Each structure stands twice: as structure tokens, then as C-alpha cells.
């Protein structure tokens, strides 16, 4: 039985429900889900320039957890950009 997820502190609000390529209706392109904690980890490490350890402190999780979250988030963002898919923001932790 898996452990329950530790609550994560996320201060990065979503600006809308999706981010997609222009000129193509959302219904006509692929979707890639990005969770709130994935967006928060991207913001803290890639935008704010924090280390994974510092980001973990802000989010209330370990550095290893931040590393796993970042790896998943970066893969999803890269896939969406390369394939022309929409990033759909999920409000689950």
C-alpha cells in the first residue's frame, strides 16, 4: 500500500486552465496534464533560480521529491512544446 502524499506548499496560482498553441482549437490538439506542484517546482527552480534543496524547503518536501517532480514536469512541458499539445493545469497535488 503506497504512503499518502505529504501536503505540498504551492504558492504559484494558475493563470487559466490551459496553455496551448495559438490558432488551433483546444479540442483539436493533444493534452498534457501539469499539476500544481509540478508548476510550482518549475517556477522555483527554473524561474526563481532556487536549488532543489531550497525549493524543497519552500514546498515542504525533500530534495529528492523536488527532483522527481521536476523531471516529470520538464518531460511534460518538452513533450507539449515539441508535439504542439496543450498544457492542461490540474488542481490536484
Cell digits of residue 59: 514546498
Q: What is the 3-state composition of the chain as percent helix, strand, coil, each rounded to the nearest 5? A: 45, 15, 40
In a 3-state reduction of DSSP, which class is residue 70? helix
Q: What is the pLDDT of residues 5-17, one digit of tens each?
A: 656 655 666 666 8
The percent of residues in the chain predicted with pLDDT above 90, rounded, is: 76
In a 3-state reduction of DSSP, which class is residue 82? helix
Residue 15 belongs to some domain of the structure = no
Domain that holds residue 86: 36-90
Residue 79 belongs to some domain of the structure = yes
26 vs 41: CA distance, rounded Å = 26
What is the CATH number for 44? Answer: 1.10.10
Residue 6 belongs to some domain of the structure = no
* Model pTM score: 0.81
Provide the domain count of the chain.
Answer: 1
Q: What is the pLDDT of residues 32-70, one digit of tens each?
A: 999 999 999 999 999 999 999 999 999 999 999 999 999
Amino acid at each position: 500500500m503506497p504512503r499518502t502524499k505529504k501536503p505540498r506548499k504551492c504558492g504559484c496560482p494558475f493563470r487559466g486552465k490551459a496553455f496551448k498553441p495559438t490558432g488551433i482549437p483546444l479540442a483539436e490538439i493533444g493534452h498534457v496534464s501539469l499539476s500544481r506542484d509540478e508548476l510550482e517546482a518549475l517556477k522555483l527552480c527554473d524561474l526563481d533560480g532556487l536549488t532543489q534543496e531550497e525549493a524543497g524547503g519552500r514546498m515542504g518536501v525533500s530534495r529528492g521529491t523536488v527532483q522527481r517532480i521536476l523531471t516529470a514536469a520538464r518531460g511534460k512541458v518538452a513533450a507539449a512544446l515539441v508535439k504542439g499539445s496543450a498544457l492542461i493545469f490540474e488542481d490536484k497535488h
